[in-house]
Amino acid sequence: RARPRENNQFRLEVNSQTMRFFVNGTYLVAVTDTDWQRGDIMLVAQKAEESDGYIVAFEDIAVHLYPTP
């Protein structure tokens, strides 16, 4: 779970058509998408309705390509 007003670590693992999402080392969900074979990476932040505002910063972004078994 993300911790408001603290640094959080988000990780996305993609293997073929399956994407696995993690926040702060905790597995959240896996999604399989058979429609997309390739694409781009986009980071998005959305303000919660009850919030007066937000500050978002991304750092240490790394993309690793792992060999297909």
Q: pLDDT digits over 3-62, tens only?
A: 877 888 888 888 888 889 999 999 999 999 888 777 787 888 777 777 677 777 778 888
How high is the pLDDT of residue 30?
95
pLDDT band at 69 (very low <50, low <70, confident <90, very high): low
How high is the pLDDT of residue 15?
83
How high is the pLDDT of residue 25?
92
- As a whole number of angstroms, the distance between CA 38 and CA 17 comes to 9
CB-count exposure of residue 19 (10 Å: 0-12, 13-18, 19+): middle
Residues 47/53, Cβ–Cβ less than 8 Å:
yes
What length does the chain have?
A: 69
Longest dimension (CA), the chain: 47
Give backbone dihedrals phi and psi of 39, rounded to 5 degrees, phi first: 180, -165
